[in-house]
């Protein structure tokens, strides 16, 4: 989710300014964080319902945990549309 958000920002002309140590400048980090949170609130179809991407990620984490504990034989990963 973060990679898509950053790529979209760069494509739309956002400069990824770095400080003298090669880290992203604070204003750029804040802008990326704001866009990621915005994206987490976006709705997407999941299991026949419209959920926020944040809810989908949380559900996927729970379902993966159940699979890893051996309580479910399979795990179906969510693949977001681009």
Is residue 82 predicted with pLDDT exceeding 80? no
Residue-level pLDDT at 22: 95
What average pLDDT does the segment 27-37 reach? 96
Would you say 17 and 25 are in contact if contact means Cβ atoms under 8 Å apart? yes
Tell me which residue of 59, 67, 41, 3 sits closest to 78, measured CA to CA.
59
CA–CA separation, 26 and 43 (whole Å): 28
Give residue 1's pLDDT band: very low, low, confident or very high (50, 70, 90): confident
**Interval 36-80: pLDDT, tens:** 999 999 999 999 999 999 999 999 999 999 999 999 999 999 998
């Amino acid at each position: 989710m973060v990679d898509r958000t950053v790529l979209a920002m760069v494509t739309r002309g956002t400069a990824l300014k770095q400080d003298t140590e090669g880290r992203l400048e604070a204003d750029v980090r804040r802008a990326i964080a704001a866009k990621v949170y915005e994206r987490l609130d976006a709705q997407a179809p999941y299991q026949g319902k419209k959920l926020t991407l944040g809810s989908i990620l949380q559900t996927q984490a729970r379902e993966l945990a159940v699979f890893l504990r051996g309580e479910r034989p399979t795990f179906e990963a969510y693949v977001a549309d681009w």
